[in-house]
Structure formats: C-alpha cells, structure tokens
C-alpha cells in the first residue's frame, strides 16, 4: 500500500505523541500529569484520524469522522461552495472525494515536495548566514540571491528590493534598536 502525504503526517503525529508519552515517565509524578494525559489523548485522536482517512475498512465504519466544524452551522449551498474552494486552494483534497486526487497528482506532488525542499534549503541558508555573518549583510544578500535565482526576476528588481530592505533593516535594527547581534 502506498502512503499518501496526509497519512505520513498523521503517522508522524502518532509517533510524536507516543514518544512524548514514553519520555514523560522520566519526570516526577506531578510534572508528568499533564503531558501524560495529553499525549494519550493526542495518540488516540491521531490514530482515529489515520485509520478513518486511510484504511478503507475503517473509512466505511466511521462516518462520524466527516463531522464538520461546529460553527459553520448554516449549511447553505453558497457556504459549501466557498469552503470547498477554500480547501482545494489550500491544497487539501476535498474530503468527500479523497480518492481521485491522489492518482493523477503524484507527479505534481513530487514537484511540490521538491520545491518545498528547495525553499527549506533557502531558509536554512538564511539562518546559517545570520549565524556567521551580520544580519546587515544577510538580509540584502539573501534577498538579492533569492529574488534573482528562485523567483527568477531581473537583477534590477532583486537589487532594488535587497537595497531597500537592507536600508530598512539598518535603520530599524542598527540605528533604532541598537541591536548588537
């Protein structure tokens, strides 16, 4: 069986809550009260979600999993449409029809993940630069490179944004806040 993204995410949450539950036993009884209770709760909730969404056997038997948020009580047509649009635009396959979204979309999903990894590398670069060179250099240089290479804009545009933000940062953090980091 091939695991979908949401299944992996839910498994991650299950593992996390199980891990936190186990670790909580190293704390004294009063300190572990809250984490213990919460991690058990979280474990079962995410387990329920995982089974209900990914295993057809449970999917059929746990209709209550489709319960929507409480406050959107007016289930008018217009409202429904708005929500579906909201969800599909935020990347979640509309829940009532989870199957068809996965098959054709695997190539797109792969591309999406690749892009996510690339963006994360950019973000890590920002953090590393902050660590080793001053923020006064980090911000303009990172922006210049990012807008030129990742956003594929002209040097002029990236240069202007970089210089503008560099000056703004200098005035705000160095002059006003007298930042010493």
Partner 1 sequence: MADILRGLMDFMAWPSPLFMALGALLGMLFGFIPGLGGAQALALLTPVTFGMPPNQAMAMMIGAMGAVPFGGSISAILINTPGTPQNAATTFDGFPLTKQGKAGFALGASASSSVMGALFGVVVLAVLIPLGKPVVLAFSYPEYFMMAFMGISVIAVVSLGSIWKGLAAGVFGLLLSTVGYDPVTGSVRYTMGFEYLYDGIKIVPALIGLFAISESLEMMIKGRDLDTGNKAIGNVGSGVWEGIMATFKHWWLFIRCSVIGVIIGIIPGVGGSVSNFLAYGHAVQTTKDNPHFGQGDVRGVIAPQASDTAKDGGAMVPTILFGIPGSVETAVLLGALILHGLQPGPKLLLDNPTIVYVMIFALVASNVLAGVLGILGARYLAKLTLLPVKLTSPVIIALALMGAYATNGVLEDVILALVFGVIGYFMNKYGFTRVPLVIALVLGTMFQQTYHQTISSMGWQGFFKRPISLGLFLVTVVMLVTPFIKARQDRIRKAKKEGEMYEA
Partner 2 sequence: MTPKRIKRHSAIALLLIFMLLWGAGCGSSAAKDNAGKDGAGAAGKTVDFPTKDITFIVPVSPGGGYDTYSRILAQYMPKYLPKPVNIIIKNMPGGEWNIGLGELNRAKPDGYTIGIFNIPGNVVNQIMGASYDLNKMTWIGRVTDTVYVGALSPKSKFKTLEDLKKADEVKVGVVGLSSTAGLGSLIALQEMGIKAKFVTHPGSTEAVMAAIRGDVDYVQYPYPTLKKFIVDSQQLNPIIIFYPERHKDLPNVPTVKEAGYSQLLDVVKADYLVGGTPGIPPEIAKILRDAFQQTMKDPEVMKKMEEFGQPARPASDEEAARIIADSLKVFGKYKDLVAQNQK
Distance of closest approach, residue 176 Cβ to partner 1, in angstroms: 6
**Residue that the structure tokens 């969800």 belong to:** 87
Q: 171 contacts which partner out of partner 2, partner 1, none, CB within 5 to 8 A by kind?
A: partner 2
Give the SS3 label for residue 12: helix
User: Cβ 28 to partner 2, closest distance in Å?
Assistant: 5
Q: Which does 104 bind (CB under 5 to 8 A by kind): partner 2, partner 1, none?
A: none
Q: Which residue has the tokens 């160095």?
A: 174
Q: Is 39 in the site for partner 1 (CB under 8 A)?
A: yes
Measure the CA–CA gap between 129 and 146, rounded to whole angstroms: 13
User: Rule CB under 8 A: is residue 100 a binding residue for partner 1?
Assistant: no
- The answer to whether 178 contacts partner 2 (rule: CB under 8 A) is yes
Query: Nearest approach, Cβ of 29 to partner 2 (angstroms)?
Result: 8
Q: In the window 115-174, what residues touch partner 1 (CB under 8 A)?
A: 115-116, 119-120, 123-124, 126-127, 130-131, 135, 139, 142-143, 146-147, 150-153, 157, 161, 165, 169, 172-173
Q: Kindly provide the b/e burial profile for residues 13-46, where b requires at least 16 CB atoms within 10 angstroms of the residue's own CB.
A: bbeebbebbeebeeeeeeebeebbeebeebbeeb
From CA 63, how far away is CA 60, in angstroms rounded? 7
């Amino acid at each position: 069986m091939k695991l979908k993204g949401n299944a992996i995410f839910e498994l991650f949450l299950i593992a996390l809550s199980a891990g936190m539950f186990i670790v909580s036993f190293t704390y004294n009884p009063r300190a572990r009260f809250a984490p213990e209770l919460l991690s058990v709760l979280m474990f079962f909730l995410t387990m329920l979600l995982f089974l209900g969404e990914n295993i057809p056997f449970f999917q059929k038997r746990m209709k209550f999993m489709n319960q929507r948020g409480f406050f959107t009580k007016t289930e008018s047509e217009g409202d429904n449409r708005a929500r579906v649009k909201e969800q599909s635009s935020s990347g979640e396959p509309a829940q009532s029809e989870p199957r068809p979204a996965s098959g054709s979309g695997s190539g797109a999903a792969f591309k999406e993940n690749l892009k996510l990894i690339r963006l994360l590398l950019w973000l890590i670069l920002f953090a590393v630069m902050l660590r080793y060179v001053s923020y006064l250099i980090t911000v303009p240089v990172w922006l210049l490179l990012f807008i030129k290479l990742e956003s594929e804009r002209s040097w002029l545009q990236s240069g202007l944004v970089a210089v503008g933000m560099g000056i703004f940062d200098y005035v705000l953090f160095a002059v006003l806040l007298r930042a010493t980091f």
